[in-house]
Structure 1
Amino acid sequence: VHKNGKKSGLHKENLLLRGCTLRNTEVVSGIVVYAGHETKALLNNNGPRYKRSKLERQMNTDVFWCVLILLIMCLLSAVGHALWVWQYGEKRPVFDVLGTDGNYVKPLLSAVYLFFTMIIVLQVLIPVSLYVSIEVVKICQVYLIHQDKDLYDEETDSRLQCRALNITEDLGQIQYIFSDKTGTLTENKMVFRRCTVSGIEYSHDANG
């Protein structure tokens, strides 16, 4: 801090946190620190965490193995082609590709060309369209969930709102629901449908 040509350092003793009350002081010269994006609330806010469903995690693993199998197949094809070209030497078949100078390409360079060629030929092993198909199915699932009559509230005239498309397929895999007994979440409107004991199903209609 520069005052009257003099420099004064600021230390932790000069820091006033939010909510502090200053007494017995007439004039205070201060500067604002930790404001804007440097506040504790924004620094601790990392944004919403992206949730991945079990299906999406399994699909990513399968695609990874597809890519690995593709690279292995291309590598084996390139090595086999290099050995094949090296075996023939200069007496290669007439259908072999020539270089720009009219001579045969070296076996190593020919193997590199074939590696990238096989990637183009075998790229159908990677299911790129699968992600698009999954997203279309999720949109249809959200529409069916929104139109479900069992999830419609007549008193408020409102339907179920789906705010995330990436975990809809996990709804059918729910095994346990943890809810409080005070009715804060359920509003004391939990309806018994059915239960199973030792493999025997007891429905609500049967008990009635």
Structure 2
Amino acid sequence: MAMMILNGRLEEEKWMNVKVGDIIRMENEHFIAADLLVLSSSEPHGLCYIETAELDGETNLKTRSALPETVPLGDIVRDISNFDGQIQCEAPNNRLDRFEGKITYKGTPYPISNENLLLRGCRLRNTRWCYGVVVFAGRESKLMMNSGKTTFKRTSLDRFLNILIMGIVLFLIAMCLICTILCGVWEWVTGRHFQDYLEWDRSIVPNTGEKGSRQIAIISFLMFFSYIILLNTVVPISLYVSVEILRFVHSLWINFDTEMYDEKMDTSARARTTTLNEELGQIIW
């Protein structure tokens, strides 16, 4: 939820309803809902501090500032709601470190840059409150324009196991097909002579004088699924479980390895995930 000025009052509004031109109030530790131009803040000279870890991975705080002309707006909702500046800027793009534009306020144009902009995804830090006018929102924000299709990371062992399981499944299907064909051949050569002891089911396909060929085809088709049930143990479902147990034990060895201890930093090795243990062999010391 974002605190937005609507009809001269502060009201909560969902991020999905934020649009260009809205004025938003942000408080300390809040995430920025859209790309905003800073109007005023609780700090002297309109300064505010943000954390951009969601954008560039950097955890050190960065400073942004409002224009000296808009700093006197302060925290007065009535004055903020009467803000009538006109912003002209570049088209939406994915450049996080560059912004060019100007704002016309009280008939005078002032240049604005990236130092006056709060990007969506940043977090307000060490600043009690801050006001900003939305410049880009939704899919036009720089964060959304930089986001792409996420790819699921897999280790070489996971890829090998997937290929191995697919090969085993294909082998299972091939074996069932071979057994089905051999079953049909046996029914055609030998099985049809034992109908006095084990008669074919006439309710499935009646004997139409084709020497039982249709009955043999139906029997072979049904036997294919019987072979699937009989031979399904060929697929090692427990293989993934066994691999995860081995990874867990390997992680414990890493955590309790006395030779992987840094005396200067008083820090020991810590396995925070079990999915990349086997990739450690690729590290060259």
Task: Give the TM-score, by structure 2 length.
Answer: 0.46
Counterpart of 2:181 in structure 1 is 79
Counterpart of 1:176 in structure 2 is 284
Which of 124, 131, 156 aligns to 1:54? It is: 156
Task: Give the TM-score, by structure 1 length.
Answer: 0.61
| Higher relative contact order, chain-length normalized (CA < 8 Å, sep 6+) | 2
Higher helix share: 1
What is the total number of aligned residue pairs between the two structures?
A: 160
- Contact 2:247/2:277, CA 8 A, preserved across alignment: yes
- How far the C-alpha of 1:167 sits from its partner, in A, is 1.9
- Contact 1:51/1:166, CA 8 A, preserved across alignment: no
- How far the C-alpha of 1:56 sits from its partner, in A, is 2.3
Change (3 A) 1:102 1:62: closer
- Over the residues paired in the alignment, what is the CA RMSD in angstroms? 3.4
Counterpart of 1:91 in structure 2 is 193
- How far the C-alpha of 1:15 sits from its partner, in A, is 6.2
Residue correspondence of structure 1 range 138-177 to structure 2 within 5 A: 138-171=247-280, 173-174=281-282, 176-177=284-285
Which of 189, 203, 216 aligns to 1:107? It is: 216
Gap regions ≥5 residues in structure 2: 1-86, 91-98, 109-132, 208-213
Gap regions ≥5 residues in structure 1: 1-13, 178-208
Higher strand share: 2
- How far the C-alpha of 1:138 sits from its partner, in A, is 0.4
Which of 232, 240, 249 aligns to 1:123? It is: 232
Change (3 A) 1:165 1:75: same
Alpha-carbon distance between aligned partners in 2 of 1:157 and 1:47, rounded to the nearest angstrom: 40
Q: Secondary structure at the match of 1:166?
A: coil
Q: Secondary structure at the match of 2:262?
A: coil
Q: Secondary structure at the match of 2:103?
A: coil
Q: Which deviates further from its counterpart, 137-146 or 101-110? A: 101-110
Q: Secondary structure at the match of 1:22?
A: strand
- How far the C-alpha of 1:35 sits from its partner, in A, is 1.8
Describe the superposition over 1:129-177 as per-residue Cα deviations: whole angstroms up to 9, x where unpaired.
Answer: 0011000110111111011112223454432232332220122x32634
Change (3 A) 1:95 1:130: farther
Q: Are 2:102 and 1:21 aligned?
A: yes
